[in-house]
């Protein structure tokens, strides 16, 4: 029999670096699968399958650092430029 590891919203929040309220907001707004992994409801509890969370993370779009997102340091003015 296959073993299923279920995690809570608090555990999910740590993994995906979001707050617990934002996770529940995403559930209530119907944006599961986009902004958070799909969940299952067991009784009154909403839980996430760890395998679904891992798959969701693996399927996130890859990003690269572009020049527009880099922090550009401003040079300090020289004394004779003031």
Query: Does 67 score more than 60 pLDDT?
Result: no
- How many domains are contained in the chain? 1
Higher pLDDT, 2 or 17: 17
CA distances from 38 to 5, 67, 71 (A): 14, 34, 35
How much is the pLDDT for 64?
73
In a domain, 73, yes or no: no
Average pLDDT, the chain: 84
Distance CA 5, CA 2 (A): 10
Instruction: List Cβ neighbours of 78 (8 Å cut-off, separation of 6 or more).
Output: none
Nearest-10 Cα torsion for 14, 18, 20, 26? -130
Model pLDDT for residues 33-66, shown as the tens digit of each residue:
888 999 999 999 999 999 999 999 998 888 876 6
Residues 8-37 pLDDT 10s:
999 999 999 999 999 999 999 988 888 899
Q: Residue 55 domain-assigned?
A: yes
Of 2 and 63, which is predicted with more confidence?
A: 63
Residue 72 covered by a domain: no
φ/ψ of 41, rounded to 5, equals: -110, 125
Q: Which domain holds residue 43?
A: 6-60
């Amino acid at each position: 029999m296959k073993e299923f590891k279920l995690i809570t919203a608090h555990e999910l929040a740590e993994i995906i670096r979001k707050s617990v309220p934002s996770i529940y907001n995403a559930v209530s707004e119907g944006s599961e699968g986009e902004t958070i992994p799909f969940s299952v409801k067991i009784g009154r509890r909403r839980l996430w399958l760890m395998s679904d969370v891992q798959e969701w993370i693996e399927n996130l779009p890859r990003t690269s650092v572009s020049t527009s997102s880099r922090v550009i340091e401003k040079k300090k003015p020289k004394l004779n430029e003031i």
